[in-house]
Amino acid sequence: MRIAFDIDDTIAKFTDKMMQYAQIFDKQESKTKKGIIDFEKFITQGMYDWTEEEKEIFLAKGIYKSIPLLRPIIPAIGLIKELKKEGEEVYFVSARGYDGYSRISQTKKWLKEHGIPYEKLIAGKQDKTQALKANKIDVLVDDRKSCCEMAENAGAFAVQPQTDMPWKEKFHIFATWKEIYQMLLEKRNRKSVIESYPIIIDTDVTNEIDDEFALAYLLTLRNVNVEAITIAPHFQMYENDVNFAKNIEKSYKKALEIVNLTKPALKDKIYKGAEGVVNFGELEISAGVRRIIEVCKKYDKVVFIGLGCLTNLAHALTLAPEIADKIKLYSLIGDLTPLNLSPEFNMSGDFPATKLVVSKVKDITIFPMTGFSGLVLTKDEIKLHLKKDNKLMNLLYEDFVEITEIKLGCRYKSIFDFILIYYLICPIEFNEYECKIKTNETHILFKKGRGANIVCSIRPDNPLKDLLTRLENFKGEVNE
């Protein structure tokens, strides 16, 4: 497919910069200096009481100064990169250049600086109809209603990203970037990663509450094929309990409890993992390790979600090294902070396993802990989402209260692990980059270059809202 994007206020925060400059311009160069007189109008269409001459001067200076400083809209850029990764053709069709204020060279430079891939930039087009027809564009994403209408007249599907700018007329397809991503998946007859491959989720589900939320979140999704829930070895963090066999049994029972409330058909697909760490090559072969090998041999590709120490996967790779090429690994390990800090918990819990896995598996997406500190829930926030008939949410709430920390009288907990599931649903909202990974004796080392995909941050609002909404509205067993 050929998918075209507008630039200003579609993939770049153009009006934000122009608004900043407008305040400076009004104070320094306008005659009246009244400030904003109508918030409902666009800058040069009544927001200020500027003369026509002042508007021309503002546009000439403002556009030229603003373009190099524009901030990209992260989910828009994420969508473009995802489309290119999947082999689609990306075009930009912009009005830039028609007025002489904005230079095409500036735009090309900005696209390059932000690593935005594309086939062709078509500029100077206020009326985009002919350009869309001539380039056989299938989809246009544009912030202006009039341009979306032009696209429909040209035979293309058009969608307008949601905006809170009051002067923007709304097109009949008005959607969030997440919704746009889902629309494009459907139009291209594709599925998200989480729906496209069989899944193994490896979890130390009673070590901390975040694993419980992650497992519950995954199992409330429709159209996912969970082939195994394997229990990772762990010591009990808050009890300093290193009895691996007891902790695995405890986690097994908790996973079974969550499965019975979500997808009871999976109760026979929960497997106990290795009863120890570090010497994974000398451990007895657990049911979990056997199942990892079986699933990987059965399918061409398998999504492996690693929420705890990577002992089970390392042991499986030791016994069957050929399965390394079958695995798409998503794991919350490592840290982007300086090396004199303590190693991240999942990684350091069995560092030899971490080293083996990252050296063998090539298709790997890592979520370093540093970027997700904003994913925090409090007892009171969860309480707002409780319903009497929602046994799953009530279970999570009870366990949450038991394990939370207390600061300034508020019970809270960092909820990291569900972010891997949210990424598999909607990768376009994240900041990420390619990176070479190496290991020393205690850390994973990240260096710029091709290799692993490093997911470094996201604004916490959307994923936390999605997590709580999905869990709150869960009605019982998921019907496939």
Q: Report whether pLDDT(113) > 60.
A: yes
Please give the model's pTM, rounded to 2 decimal places: 0.88
Give the pLDDT band (50/70/90) at residue 480.
very low
Percent of the chain with pLDDT strictly greater than 90: 60
* 348-373 mean pLDDT: 88
Which of 281, 291, 356, 360 shows the shortest CA–CA distance to 319? 281
Give the pLDDT band (50/70/90) at residue 111.
very high
* 208-214 mean pLDDT: 91
Same fold, 2-8+72-187 and 193-472: no
- The CA–CA distances, whole Å, from 164 to 13, 23, 356, 409, 444 equal 13, 19, 48, 36, 42
pLDDT tens, 160-209? 999 988 889 999 999 999 999 999 999 999 999 999 999 999 999 988 88
pLDDT tens, 283-325? 789 999 999 999 999 999 999 999 989 999 999 999 999 999 9
> What gap in Å lies between CA 367 and CA 387, rounded to an integer?
32
Give the pLDDT confidence score for residue 237 in this predicted structure.
54
- Is the model more confident about 303 or about 95? 303
Percent of the chain with pLDDT strictly greater than 70: 92
> What gap in Å lies between CA 89 and CA 219, rounded to an integer?
34
Give the pLDDT confidence score for residue 281 in this predicted structure.
59
Least confident of 6-10, 35-39, 243-247, 461-465: 243-247
Give the pLDDT confidence score for residue 239 in this predicted structure.
54
Give the contacts of 10 (CB within 8 A, at least 6 positions apart).
73, 76, 141, 142, 143, 161
| Domain coordinates in residue numbering, the chain | 2-8+72-187, 17-68, 193-472
Which of 197, 324, 196, 217 shows the shortest CA–CA distance to 262? 217
Give the pLDDT confidence score for residue 338 in this predicted structure.
60
Q: Report whether pLDDT(33) > 50.
A: yes
CATH of domain 193-472: 3.90.245.10
Q: Report whether pLDDT(145) > 50.
A: yes
Q: SS3 for 278?
A: coil
State in words which class domain 2-8+72-187 has: alpha beta
- Say what angle helices 244-262 and 391-403 make with each other, to 10 degrees: 150
Q: Report whether pLDDT(41) > 50.
A: yes
Q: Report whether pLDDT(158) > 80.
A: yes
Average model confidence (pLDDT) across the chain: 89
H, E, C per residue of 90-118: EEEECCCCCCCCCCHHHHHHHHHHCCCCC
Least confident of 221-225, 268-272, 384-388: 384-388
Give the pLDDT band (50/70/90) at residue 102.
low
